[in-house]
Structure formats: structure tokens, C-alpha cells
């Protein structure tokens, strides 16, 4: 983080940036063509800093909880109590902060654009210390662009003549505005740019389900009329036939739904994407009547299995049914 100090007559600084010492949050950018704050600091900076070497005031970016960023202040900015004496050659007079104002500039080539920053400061003025925790996080959503910025914390300061050894001399100097000055702390930060990703550039996620052809039969001789989709031994569905109608009976923990992403009666070419499966008209009936070409979604403890009912052949209460189910 960069640190610089600027000592200028407060009236000059206020007119330069369109600011008010009372801390008005209304924003007005610098006129086009105005030299940057950096140039004024470079040409007018005091050789001595009004801040104590023990100052730890700083800021860093963090999440604002809304998908954007915020500036979080930390540490303290302490005044050097001998500053006035060292700077002006007068007796030591008590230096105090009267208010602060915050602006930001976006550095863009040779141009610097300035804007005021809205912020909430709970500091009680006048004071000899600025505490970062008294300044609420600054939501960077108020900046309408992203990129690299420089934050300027303008500190309007004065001398407290009430405790001066020569109060009269102090008052005379203050009346001439020679002991009202402004210092600035600069902090560099970067507001990340959000990358807009078009839907066409996003790779489509597809967990492929491959088809497995199966036949269940309750005919004499080679009857296999139960099935476990997860590969276990216990039946998850049992086929039954009544009056030439076929049914799937679901075991406990198994649900049979109607699947809505596939076209009735048609077997798709290739595999099916698990992400595109849809459930419609969840079946509460058990057993489930099997119609030709119907798509079902069998939900088991091991996963969801789309099922296409195929050919059925029966003779009263005996027969067989073919179906295709899809698995990972």
C-alpha cells in the first residue's frame, strides 16, 4: 500500500475536489482536464508527515456478501503530536482531525478519473486518532467500472488552540488559515472485473447413461420376474400380469415416476444425459400399470434409472415384457 502526505490550505483542497469539510457524501467528479491528485501531492507534499510512525491504517478488498467486493479498513492513523512544532517552528500545539473525506481514482493510462465515495464513519470528531474499525466497509458496487484504483482518504486537520501555551498567537495563526491543513493517505486496490460467460461458450455437462435391454417373464420353465437395478439380490420391482395387463410392483424404498424428458415410444439414439431427466406425474399407485412405449423413472437407493417399456406378450396371467433401462 502507498502512503503520501499532503499539506495544503483546506480551502484550496475543497475547491479543487468539490468536497466539503463536513463530510458530505454527494459525489462530483473532477472537471475534465484537471490535473490528477497525484500531481498535487507530488508538488505540494510536506517533507514531514503529520502521522505517527506507529500508524497502521490500511484497507483491503474482501467479499461484500452480494457477489461483489468491499473495502475493509483496519489499524489506526495516529497524529504526531510534535508535527505542528516541527513543521511551522511554533511552540507545540495540539493537532486534531476535524473530518475526513474519501475519493477514488481509476488509473487509465495518462488519465485519472476521480469520484467521491459514499461511506459511513462512526468516529467522534475532533480526535487525534482515526480507527479503521470506525469506518464501515465501503461497497465497491458504487464504482461503475472495474480495474485498478487509488483510494484517497482526505483528512481535514487543525490546531486546538485551547491548550496552547500562547493561545492568543495560536488563535491569530488559525484565523489566517495558516494552521488549517489537509493530509491524505493513499491506498491502492483493485476491483475485480466480472467475466460474462455466454451460454454458447459453456461446456454442457452430461453424465451419460447407457442402455441395457432386459426381459422379465413369468412363464413356466424359465421364470425371471423380479429385478434389482442397483445390482443387489433383493427385488426392487416385481412384474405381475392380470387379465393380460402388465404391472411393476415397487419394493419398499423404491418409487416409480413417469419420466418427461423423452418422447413416448421412441428409443433415443446413443446415450441419455442424467442431467436432462425430468419427473412428471409422480406415481402413487403400486403396482404401476405398464403401457406400451411409456417412459418411467425408477428411483432406488442407488440412483435414478430411466426405463422404456417395450414389447409385451401375455396369455391371461402368463407372459413376458421387454424393457430398456439406462444406467451410469
36 and 123 in a single domain? The answer is yes
Q: Are residues 159 and 232 in the same domain?
A: no
Separation between Cα atoms, residue 183 and residue 154, nearest integer Å? 6
Residue 143: phi and psi, rounded to 5, are -85, 125
pLDDT digits (tens, 9 = 90+) for 279-308: 776 555 788 888 888 999 999 999 999 999
Same domain, 77 and 118: yes
What confidence score (pLDDT) does residue 17 get?
Answer: 44
Instruction: Specify whether 152 is located in the same domain as 111.
Output: yes
Q: pLDDT per residue over 233-264, tens digit each?
A: 999 999 998 888 899 999 998 989 888 888 88
- The verdict on residue 218 lying in a domain is yes
Q: Which of 191, 216, 233 is the last residue of a domain?
A: 191
- H or E segment to which residue 257 belongs: strand 255-259
Domain count within the chain: 2
CB neighbour burial string for 80-117, b if at least 16 within 10 angstroms, e if fewer: beebbeebeebeebbbebbbbbbbbbbeeeeebebbbb
Residues 177 and 88 in one domain: yes
Q: What is the pLDDT of residue 324?
A: 94
Do 141 and 22 share a structural domain? yes
Residue 198 lies in a domain: no
Residue 304 within any structural domain of the chain: yes
Which of 191, 225, 258 marks a domain boundary? 191
| 196 occurs within a structural domain | no
Shared-domain flag, residues 157 and 253 = no
Residue 89 falls inside a structural domain: yes
pTM over the 0.85 mark: no
Residue 197 lies in a domain: no
pLDDT at 179 over 70: no
Is 53 found in the same domain as 89? Answer: yes
Q: Is 202 inside a domain boundary?
A: no
Spell 162-192 as b/e; 16+ CB within 10 A means b.
eebeeeeebeebbeeeebbbbbbbbbebebe
For residue 201, being part of any structural domain is answered with no
Residues 187 and 213 occupy one common structural domain: no
Per the structure, the complete domain to which residue 215 belongs is given by: 208-327
Q: Tell me what the mean pLDDT of segment 158-185 comes to.
A: 67
Is 134 in the same domain as 217?
no
Q: Which residue has the higher pLDDT, 97 or 92?
A: 97
Is there a single domain that holds both residue 164 and residue 287? Answer: no
Same domain, 96 and 162: yes
Is a pLDDT exceeding 90 seen at residue 227? yes
Amino acid at each position: 500500500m502507498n502512503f503520501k502526505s499532503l499539506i495544503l490550505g483546506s480551502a484550496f483542497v475543497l475547491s479543487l475536489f468539490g468536497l466539503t469539510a463536513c463530510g458530505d457524501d454527494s459525489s462530483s467528479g473532477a472537471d475534465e482536464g484537471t490535473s490528477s491528485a497525484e500531481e498535487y501531492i507530488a508538488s505540494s507534499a510536506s517533507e514531514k508527515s503529520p502521522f505517527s510512525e506507529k500508524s497502521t491504517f490500511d484497507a483491503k478488498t474482501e467479499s461484500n456478501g452480494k457477489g461483489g467486493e468491499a473495502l475493509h479498513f483496519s489499524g489506526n492513523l495516529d497524529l504526531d503530536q510534535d508535527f505542528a512544532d516541527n513543521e511551522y517552528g511554533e511552540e507545540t500545539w495540539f493537532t486534531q482531525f476535524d473530518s475526513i473525506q474519501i475519493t477514488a481514482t481509476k488509473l487509465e493510462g495518462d488519465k485519472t478519473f476521480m469520484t467521491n465515495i459514499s461511506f459511513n464513519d462512526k468516529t467522534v470528531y475532533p480526535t487525534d486518532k482515526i480507527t479503521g474499525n470506525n469506518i464501515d466497509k465501503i461497497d465497491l458496487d458504487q464504482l461503475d467500472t472495474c480495474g485498478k484504483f487509488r483510494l484517497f482518504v482526505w483528512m481535514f486537520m487543525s490546531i486546538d488552540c485551547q491548550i496552547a501555551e500562547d493561545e492568543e498567537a495560536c488563535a491569530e495563526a488559525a484565523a489566517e488559515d495558516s494552521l488549517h491543513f489537509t493530509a491524505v493517505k493513499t491506498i491502492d486496490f483493485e476491483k475485480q472485473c466480472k467475466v460474462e460467460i455466454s451460454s454458447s461458450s459453456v461446456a454442457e455437462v452430461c453424465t451419460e447413461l447407457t442402455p441395457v435391454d432386459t426381459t422379465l417373464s413369468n412363464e413356466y420353465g424359465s421364470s425371471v420376474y423380479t429385478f434389482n437395478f442397483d445390482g443387489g439380490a433383493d427385488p426392487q420391482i416385481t412384474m405381475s400380469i392380470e387379465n393380460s395387463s402388465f404391472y411393476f410392483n415397487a419394493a419398499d424404498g423404491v418409487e416409480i415416476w413417469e419420466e418427461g424428458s423423452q418422447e413416448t415410444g421412441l428409443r433415443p439414439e446413443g446415450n441419455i444425459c442424467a442431467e436432462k431427466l425430468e419427473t412428471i406425474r409422480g406415481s402413487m399407485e403400486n403396482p404401476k400399470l405398464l403401457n406400451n412405449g411409456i417412459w418411467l423413472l425408477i428411483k432406488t437407493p442407488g440412483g435414478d434409472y430411466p426405463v422404456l417399456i417395450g414389447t409385451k406378450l401375455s396369455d391371461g396371467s402368463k407372459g413376458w415384457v421387454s424393457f430398456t433401462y439406462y444406467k451410469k
